[in-house]
Amino acid sequence: MKTSIAIIGAGIAGITLAQALVPYANVTIFEKSRGLGGRMANRRREGFAFDHGAQYFTARSPAFRAVAEAAVEAGHAGIWPRAVHTLKSGGLLTDNRQPEPRYVGLPGMSGFANGLADGLEIRKQTTVAGLQQCGHGWALTDGEGQDLGRFDTVISTAPAPQTIRLMPETFSGHDALAIVRMSGCFTLMIGLDEPLHLDFHAARIEDDILSWIAVEDSKPGRRDKLALTIHSRNDWAEANLERDRDEVKSEMLASLKRLLGLDFSNAAWLDLHRWRYANVEEPASQPFLFDEALGLGACGDWCLGNRVEAAVESATALSTRMITRLQGA
């Protein structure tokens, strides 16, 4: 009988790992959200569409480049943005260098993860809250203590601060997990009924509060209404994580007004998302964590860096290690 593996999280790391392991094991992914993709997220409201997590991804390794190009071919990804300019109080600094290809999921950012998840067994809206050792495996339970099944091996791809809370004290990866530092981010989503002309599709922002702005309908294949996605700086988010949401929104809008000379406070749609664990400030600096004796492991961007490709690289490295073990079994 094939060994059973539970993967916690259907972000890009969980999906990449699952696809690699499926030929060798019975794999089940548990995902707490309704959708796939984790921080490669998008949201649709009132005819407006926002990629409110990762903005684009690059693919530097030949293997991941091939995956990204196959996704473009299949219509799950497109090339965007061609240029990333810099917006600051003095105006816009344009960057017209030829960039490495940047990719975005289609029709929204999670489309890339959805395209890769084909054929996987994924239990959505199911939060893994407990792991109890039972025989040579692990019994998983949800937040209400409901039984989610028994598995020979359990891998967490949740952000490190969440993985550390899930893993039993006996897990050998705790020291590495404790090193990891992740930072938060606020994302402001603005939907507009009025036409608006901006001289950029995407720009990094040099400011005390804001760090990024994207014009959503400039992305390939988007037929949605005009919308802007704005990220705060991570350090500003960290200092303001518990503040009243309306105050955070107002400060971000005021900053945008200073930079663009435009007041969006009466926009047709305004929304704010708080990411408690958005970006990796200090990674574990090892490609994955795997406690072979216990049958427990972890992977994700936080192992190696701060990018979609770091999550893929971490999951791929762990899958290689696990497949070697499974083939030897």
Ligand X SMILES: Cc1cc2nc3c(=O)[nH]c(=O)nc-3n(C[C@H](O)[C@H](O)[C@H](O)COP(=O)(O)OP(=O)(O)OC[C@H]3O[C@@H](n4cnc5c(N)ncnc54)[C@H](O)[C@@H]3O)c2cc1C
- Interface residues with ligand X (CB under 6 A) are 8-14, 30-33, 38-40, 53-57, 127-128, 157-159, 162, 185, 187, 231, 275, 278-279, 300-301, 307-308, 311
Closest distance of CB 129 from ligand X, Å:
6
Which two tokens mark 115? 């395209």
Output 90 or 239, the one with its CB closest to ligand X. 239
Complex with ligand X: residue 130 or 328, whichever CB lies closer? 130
Closest approach of ligand X to the CB of residue 177, in Å: 14
Q: How far is the CB of 204 from ligand X (least distance, A)?
A: 10
Judge contact between 227 and 49, C-beta under 8 A. yes
Element holding 104 (H helix, E strand): strand 102-105
194 versus 242: smaller Cβ distance to ligand X:
242
- Identity of the residue, 25 or 155, whose beta carbon is nearer to ligand X in the bound complex: 155
Q: Which is nearer to ligand X, 224 or 309 (CB)?
A: 309
d(CA 8, CA 31): 6
Q: Shortest approach of ligand X to residue 275 CB, angstroms?
A: 4
Work out how close the CB of 193 gets to ligand X at its nearest, in angstroms, rounded to a whole number: 26
Task: Answer whether 31's CB lies under 8 Å from 124's CB.
Answer: yes
Complex with ligand X: residue 226 or 280, whichever CB lies closer: 280
Structure tokens at 6: 């539970």
Closer CB to ligand X, residue 25 or residue 41? Answer: 41
Task: Return the percent helix, strand and coil in the chain, to nearest 5.
Answer: 30, 30, 40
Given a contact cutoff of 8 angstroms between Cβ atoms, the answer to whether 170 and 294 are in contact is yes
Helix (H) or strand (E) run with residue 164 in it: helix 160-166
Contacts 24+ apart (CB under 8 A), 94-98: 94/199, 94/200
Q: How far is the CB of 259 from ligand X (least distance, A)?
A: 19
Q: How far apart are CA 290 and CA 101, in angstroms?
A: 33
Which residue is listed with tokens 């404790």? 178
| Identity of the residue, 21 or 197, whose beta carbon is nearer to ligand X in the bound complex | 21
Write down the least CB distance from residue 56 to ligand X, Å. 5
User: Pick from 156, 121, 128: which is nearest to 32 by CA?
Assistant: 128
Cβ atoms of 278 and 138 closer than 8 Å: no
Q: How far is the CB of 86 from ligand X (least distance, A)?
A: 15
Residue 299 near residue 313 (C-beta atoms within 8 A): no
d(C-alpha 221, C-alpha 232), whole Å: 26
Cα 238 to the center of its chain, rounded Å? 18
The residues facing 297 across adjacent strands are: 155, 290
